[in-house]
Amino acid sequence: MAKPDKFTGWDPSKLCPFIVCCIMAFDSRPHKFATDCQRVSYAASYLSDIAMLWWQPILVAFLEPSIRNDWGEFVDQLNTYFGQPDLAQASECTLHALKMQDYLHVKKLS
């Protein structure tokens, strides 16, 4: 199983693939990631740049925040701070930007 790429927080479009890659790792080794704490720690180990700057105060907090033991909360907070603000609009823009390359042709069926 491939490890996730580092998530820097700079490109919102890379958040979903990062989360999916983490989930695939969890599913491939359920005994290793039996608790939310293990899942969050694994995913957090692949944060860097501004995403790590966001995580560091949480990691060193004197009273352990609930996010450290709650995968769902971790993902929600990542989406809040680093996800696409309007995923539906971003998806629509991506679809509108699609175009067929000049060398491709649609085959007509009769």
Write the pLDDT tens digit of every residue in 3-42: 999 999 999 999 999 999 999 999 999 999 999 999 999 9
Residue range 77-103, pLDDT digits in tens: 999 999 987 666 666 666 666 666 666
**How many whole angstroms separate alpha carbon 35 and alpha carbon 57?**
22
Task: Tell me the domain boundaries of the chain.
Answer: 12-88
pLDDT band at 109 (very low <50, low <70, confident <90, very high): confident
Question: With contact defined as beta carbons under 8 Å apart, do 44 and 4 qualify?
Answer: no
